[in-house]
Amino acid sequence: MFDWGGIPAVRAALAARSRGPQRAPTKVPTKIRFDADALAALKTTGRGWQTRANDAMREWLKEHSPPDTGTHR
């Protein structure tokens, strides 16, 4: 028979776990608005959809960004 008495301890142990701060944050939180169908298509690809969206944006920027002249930020 399962011992239900240990459940609070397990929950407390799981709640205490955290990833911790990044040594050098590389991502910037932001808000972006997508068409509903585009967002649904991204999310149906499963875990990591935000990383894949970021990668797709980087690829697009390689082809569509003006050359960096160092005069703007």
DSSP per residue over 11-44, as a string?
Answer: HHHHHH------SS-----------HHHHHHHHT
Q: What percent of the chain has pLDDT over 70?
A: 84
pLDDT higher at 35 or 5: 35
Q: Each residue of 23-58: pLDDT tens digit?
A: 777 888 899 999 999 999 999 999 999 999 999 999
pLDDT higher at 70 or 39: 39
What average pLDDT does range 11-26 have in this prediction?
A: 74
Tokens of 10: 């397990």
Residue 18's pLDDT is 73
Residue 24 to residue 22: CA distance in whole angstroms = 5
**Cα dist. 9→1, 18, 52 in Å?**
18, 16, 37
Residue 65's pLDDT is 79
